[in-house]
């Protein structure tokens, strides 16, 4: 459990080809180490996805570390400087798919638990890990299923640290204390198809929809708040037509998305959109998909413990941020009042030659261990 323990485990995890949703044995590797510490292991697998809930202790408060074993595909391996599934140390970095997102965090979780339990075998409260192989994919059989199982038996979490790579320019500089929600829609505006030479016989849905889309694009949905920027509306796809230049299309399909803050609710956004569509007298169908609600953890015990630990082991003053996409924190927030994310520098995640600085590995484990000490002793 000395220096190099985090590197050793990170290497083992990287060399398992756990392309989403395949766990490739990562949870078995982690589970064996946790079991020797007295963790009770529970597999909550679902839909071909591997999920592990591991808990040590039964008392409150419950501190959980959450993450995922799955990684995105590497793409053509010949574009990488090194085999993406052969952990390689080069020029002060550990290279490999998942090095930053987020197998190094998983290794740091486990090593931190080993060190903490060794030093505090009778610690207060309980310690847990919630791990899945379905974060980078559809995220419908992973963390959300574990949360549903825990909620059903009223097993709630007090504090949760998600090991996502949050650091921006310098290791330790950013904690994510919330994330925006994601609300998507498929809008189909109906018209009447026909020949372009006979405009009196057609209803062009593109022409009909254009004024409404302009209003949607120009609407200020909210002003955000002290933690979140204003809600953003973006059209991601628009399609109409048969491919011919002399045919007016019968329908116009638009895909759009809201990234919204706690200043708006999904129902409010839906209602405002549908009022705009109705005002423009459109004949339409719309299907909504809520990808995740926003969550926010205001400064409290967890944020304070993590900031103090970062400053002690990374010698940097960290900042709170809610930028970026969604994470599994959105599911955990349903059973946990304080959820934050913290992990390595994110500059190379999902990219060719993903890597983490070797010098950041042990401090990462020490930071997680410091949170345990501050909250459970």
Residue 2 reports pLDDT greater than 80:
no
164 marked as binding residue: yes
Q: What are phi and psi of 123, to 5 degrees?
A: -60, 160
Please tell me which residue in 22, 23, 70, 114 is annotated as part of the active site.
Answer: 70
Whether 135 is catalytic is yes
CATH number assigned to the domain covering 5-179+294-376: 3.40.630.10
Which residue do the tokens 């310690």 mark? Answer: 127
Map out the domains of the chain as residue ranges: 5-179+294-376, 181-292
148 marked as binding residue: no
Residues 37-56 pLDDT 10s: 999 999 999 999 999 999 99
Q: Does domain 181-292 have CATH number 3.30.70.360?
A: yes
Residues 107-140 pLDDT 10s: 999 999 999 999 999 999 999 999 999 999 989 9
Please tell me which residue in 114, 135, 338, 341 is annotated as part of the active site.
Answer: 135
Residues 244-253 pLDDT 10s: 999 999 999 9
The whole-angstrom separation of Cα 336 and Cα 149 is: 14
Whether 15 is catalytic is no
- Threshold 0.85, pTM exceeds: yes
pLDDT at 3: 61
68 marked as binding residue: yes
Burial of residue 32 (number of CB atoms within 10 Å: 0-12, 13-18, 19+): exposed
223 marked as binding residue: no
> Are residues 37 and 117 in contact, defined by beta-carbon separation less than 8 angstroms?
yes
Quick one: average pLDDT of 286-302?
95
């Amino acid at each position: 459990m000395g220096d190099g323990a985090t590197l050793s485990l990170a290497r083992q995890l990287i060399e398992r080809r756990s392309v989403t949703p395949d766990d490739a044995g990562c949870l078995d590797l982690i589970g064996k180490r946790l079991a020797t510490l007295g963790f009770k292991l529970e597999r909550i697998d679902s839909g071909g996805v591997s999920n592990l809930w591991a808990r040590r202790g039964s008392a409150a408060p419950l501190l959980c570390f959450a993450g995922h074993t799955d990684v995105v595909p590497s793409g053509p391996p010949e574009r990488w400087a090194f085999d993406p599934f052969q952990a390689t140390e080069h020029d002060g970095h550990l290279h490999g798919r998942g090095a930053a997102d987020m197998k190094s965090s998983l290794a740091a979780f486990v090593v931190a638990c080993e060190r903490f339990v060794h030093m505090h075998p009778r610690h207060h409260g309980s310690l847990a890990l919630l791990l899945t192989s379905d974060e980078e994919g559809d995220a419908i059989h992973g963390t959300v299923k574990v949360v549903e199982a825990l909620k059903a038996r009223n097993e709630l979490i007090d504090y949760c640290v998600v090991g996502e790579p949050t650091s921006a320019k310098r290791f330790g500089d950013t904690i994510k204390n919330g994330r925006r929600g994601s609300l998507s829609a498929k809008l189909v505006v109906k018209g009447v198809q026909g020949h372009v030479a006979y405009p009196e016989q057609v209803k062009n849905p593109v022409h009909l929809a254009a004024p409404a889309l302009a209003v949607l694009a120009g609407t200020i949905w909210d002003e955000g708040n002290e933690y979140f920027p204003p809600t953003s509306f973006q059209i991601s796809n628009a399609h109409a037509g048969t491919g011919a230049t002399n045919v007016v299309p019968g329908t116009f399909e638009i895909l759009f998305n809201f990234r919204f803050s706690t200043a708006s609710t999904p129902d409010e956004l839906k209602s405002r959109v549908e009022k705009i569509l109705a005002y423009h007298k459109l004949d339409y169908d719309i299907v909504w998909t809520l990808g995740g609600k926003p969550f926010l953890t205001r400064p409290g015990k967890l944020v304070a413990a993590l900031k103090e630990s970062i400053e002690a082991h990374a010698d940097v003053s960290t900042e709170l941020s809610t930028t970026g996409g969604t994470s599994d924190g959105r599911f955990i927030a349903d059973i946990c009042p304080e959820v934050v994310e913290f992990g390595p520098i994110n500059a190379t995640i999902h990219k060719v030659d993903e890597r983490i600085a070797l010098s950041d590995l042990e401090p990462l484990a020490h930071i997680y261990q410091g949170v345990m000490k501050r909250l459970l002793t």
